[in-house]
């Protein structure tokens, strides 16, 4: 079913396997070393329409797209993002959950979700993974932003 969100829980972190599953539409990818509490939070997040990546996998995504030459920057789309939305996007690029972003910025989780939804709409993407990848491709984020 196209509306079914898939969260991968795997022992494998090789690039070919990871990217094949993400390109096939997986909403998240966690490694089996994830804590039970984080797994439960990830399941809930994916169920709520979010994307979740283990920090090791998030780094792979960032590295893969950072090596590619950037596309022509769409300054108008970047200009439409508020400073707070860009800040939330940068923290999402670090692989942080909405809950952790909320704690970092002293916001509610719902406010973080709202900022991310605004980012998705302005960037014409459907997930945080797509937003981060697009932002890296367009040069809106750098590898420094993901550390």
pLDDT given for residue 67 in this prediction? 56
pLDDT given for residue 71 in this prediction? 43
The arrangement of secondary structure in 7-146, i.e. its CATH architecture, is Orthogonal Bundle (1.10)
Local mean pLDDT, 10-residue blocks, the chain (147 residues):
82 84 88 93 90 88 65 55 90 91 94 90 84 84 72
**What's the distance, Cα to Cα, between the start and end of the chain in Å?**
36
- Comparing CA positions, the residue from 135, 87, 80, 132 lying closest to residue 107 is 87
Domain ranges of the chain: 7-146
Cβ proximity of 137 and 70 under 8 Å: yes
């Amino acid at each position: 079913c196209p509306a079914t969100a898939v969260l991968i829980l795997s022992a494998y972190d090789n690039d070919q396997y990871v990217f094949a599953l993400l390109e096939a539409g997986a909403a998240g990818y966690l490694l089996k070393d994830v804590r039970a509490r984080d797994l439960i939070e990830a399941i809930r997040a994916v169920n709520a329409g979010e994307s979740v990546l283990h920090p090791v996998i998030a780094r792979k995504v960032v590295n893969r797209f950072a090596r590619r030459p950037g596309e022509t920057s769409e300054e108008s789309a970047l200009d439409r993002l508020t400073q707070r939305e860009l800040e939330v996007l940068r923290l999402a690029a670090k692989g942080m959950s909405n809950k952790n972003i909320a704690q970092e910025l002293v916001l509610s989780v719902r406010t973080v979700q709202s900022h991310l939804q605004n980012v998705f709409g302005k960037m014409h993407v459907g997930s945080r993974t797509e937003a981060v990848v697009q932002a890296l491709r367009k040069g809106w984020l750098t590898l420094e932003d993901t550390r």
